[in-house]
Amino acid sequence: LGGALWCRGMVFFIEDKGDPCTGHPTLEKFERNGGGVVEALGAFYLFYGLAILAGQYFVPSLQMLSKRLNIPDDVAGATFMALGCTAQETIVSSIALSNPEA
């Protein structure tokens, strides 16, 4: 009986049964053969990509906004960074307030 099992943010395709998060042979083999290195390299790749995107798009637009609004760069960075991090929650909360059935 084959299938896909989800554990620790990864999908494992296996042929035998068992709990993937506690003592599964496939997971133990993955961890023993350098799975931590693969996870660390994946995390490094994602953070590096995020740094490139922030450097190419977020920082120049933030500098343009701070010049147009005549506010210091550090104040603009703190303000717009906070707005960018909480924009999703703000939108969802405003939708929930305007539509009580949602």
| pTM of the predicted structure, to 2 decimals | 0.47
pLDDT at 76: 86
CA 89 to CA 8: how far, in whole Å? Answer: 26
**Over residues 40-60, mean pLDDT:** 89
Q: The tokens of 41 are what?
A: 């390299």
In percent, how much of the chain has pLDDT > 90?
Answer: 12
- Neighbouring-strand partners of residue 11: 6
Q: The tokens of 21 are what?
A: 């998060």
pLDDT at 2: 43
